[in-house]
Amino acid sequence: MYKSSFRKRLQSACSWFQKSFWRTGAVKNQAISLEYQAARRYTTRNRPIGPLERIIMRQHGPWGILASTEVYRDPWIRLVKDDVVRPDGQPGTYCVAHLKPGVSVLALDEQQNAYLTEEFHYGVARTTLETASGGIDSGETPLVAAKRELHEELGVTARKWTDLGTVDPFTANVVSPTQLFLAQDLSFGKPQPEGSELIRCLKVPFADVVKMAMDGRISHAPSVALVLKVGRLLEC
Amino acid sequence: MYKSSFRKRLQSACSWFQKSFWRTGAVKNQAISLEYQAARRYTTRNRPIGPLERIIMRQHGPWGILASTEVYRDPWIRLVKDDVVRPDGQPGTYCVAHLKPGVSVLALDEQQNAYLTEEFHYGVARTTLETASGGIDSGETPLVAAKRELHEELGVTARKWTDLGTVDPFTANVVSPTQLFLAQDLSFGKPQPEGSELIRCLKVPFADVVKMAMDGRISHAPSVALVLKVGRLLEC
């Protein structure tokens, strides 16, 4: 009983100490406290985890986190490397890329035509067909971001919105939940792409869009999930 | 005519020079050539792109890449930052995370039961339901990796395999194509999870798995895409 309470206090003290320093910005991309450095020495030397590490370790499911270091950050991507104790008790490292949460929107008109984007995507280095997709800006709700992206990329505004849930493109090494929307009752304006975007709008009968998702012509996973979800809902 | 030929020769010389140095490993995580350094100065100073940069620039769709720097690398994730000329001609940077290509496998028995994994996933920091998924090891074909993952995670071997195409969990900032498979005609053994894996196998009627993909209980995008693709194929 006493031991557990002592451990909790020490943990909360460590956590306060760490947070305060992060907040003040005194130390930015470095794990700072002496305990953390000790822990890092242990993990890098591949030694078994000692009693001090057990105390300062932050539990993360079956994993223990001894130290977190921000390896890289820009407005789109943040890479964090953790020194960890694996579920089997062995030391190791685990690196996670954090991206902005995102939205994907399928715009569907009354004649069951869908509106897709055709755009060169930097990562996969080819032109892909996708539903209108983008990141949620700070302060935006997913719905506001969805409305903005649909207008920016396709010049479309919609009066009827259906939330089709969230998908996680990855669950292990990348964090970027993507909320899916069906947009109906459309009106059309002029697209306003950002400087880095060259987007062509494609009007395709929805039945063909489903075929494209099935045969791989649409490969962007959130778009595939969204199209097939809508296909099931509309039974087409 | 002469100008274009000269430009091409210069580009190929730059490219050869750069590749040779990368290959020898003399310079690892740094952009090396003098031209590259000049280019980086231009982009970081936010100046317009000059004639020298236009020559050494490598075209990447509507983008131009002036220099590439590997920011981070471990066996699971590699982060590369490019100094670029955006499609609108402005200088900038673009960072892409490269993950191992992966596979996702839906195992389905003759009574239309699916076998899912229930595992804590580090990135999203919660226990998720997924189809058997993992990375393709070096030298493996996607099918070999799929067979290995299915056996390691669920202890299942299958005699009938259907390739359901590839999805890209992301297309812009992350590269990690994931190949989808349906595995049938199953036999069951003992799972052999890796040291960092604590996996529970769930046997669920396939009709319920489809409901889980629809209502968000399954959120892993490749799993959702795979389940809904199989749902359409089997018409259930």
Question: How many domains does the structure of chain A reveal?
Answer: 2
Average confidence (pLDDT) over A134-154: 95
Average confidence (pLDDT) over A158-185: 96
Which phi and psi angles does B61 have, rounded to 5°? 60, -135
Mutate to test the interface with B, among A65, A71, A80, A95 (most CBs of B within 10 A): A95
Of A61, A62, A169, nearest to B170 by CB-CB distance is A169
Clarify whether residues A111 and A225 are in a common domain. Answer: yes
- Domain boundary residue, one of A40, A72, A99: A99
Clarify whether residues B193 and B76 are in a common domain. Answer: no
Clarify whether residues B112 and B46 are in a common domain. Answer: no
- Listed range (A54-68, A97-111, A205-219, B183-197) with the worst mean pLDDT: B183-197
In this predicted structure, what is the pLDDT of residue A14? 56
Contact B167 A197 (CB under 8 A): no
- Domain boundary residue, one of B71, B99, B127: B99
Residue B189 banded pLDDT, cuts 50, 70, 90: confident
Contact A97 B174 (CB under 8 A): yes
| Residues from chain B contacting residue A168 (CB–CB below 8 Å) | 124, 128, 219-221
Please report where in the chains the tokens 């087409």 appear, as a residue.
Answer: A236
Is the per-residue pLDDT at A31 higher than 70? no
Clarify whether residues B89 and B125 are in a common domain. Answer: no
Residues 1-60 in A contacting B (C-alpha not used; CB under 8 Å): 60
Question: What's the pLDDT tens digit per position in B81-122?
Answer: 999 988 888 889 999 999 999 999 999 999 999 999 999 999
Which long-range contacts does A31-34 make (Cβ < 8 Å, 24+ apart)? A31/A67, A31/A68, A31/A69, A31/A83
Name B203's bridge partners. B115
Domain that holds residue B153: 102-234
Clarify whether residues B93 and B210 are in a common domain. Answer: no
CA–CA dist A82, A67 (Å, integer):
6
Name B179's bridge partners. B103, B166
- Domain boundary residue, one of B79, B99, B119: B99
Clarify whether residues A113 and A76 are in a common domain. Answer: no
Clarify whether residues B155 and B74 are in a common domain. Answer: no
In this predicted structure, what is the pLDDT of residue A6? 65
| Residues from chain A contacting residue B77 (CB–CB below 8 Å) | 79, 95, 97, 173
Clarify whether residues A191 and A208 are in a common domain. Answer: yes
In this predicted structure, what is the pLDDT of residue A56? 76
Clarify whether residues B92 and B153 are in a common domain. Answer: no
Residues 6+ positions from A80 with CB-CB distance below 8 Å: A68, A69, A70, A71, A95, A96, A98
Clarify whether residues B150 and B114 are in a common domain. Answer: yes
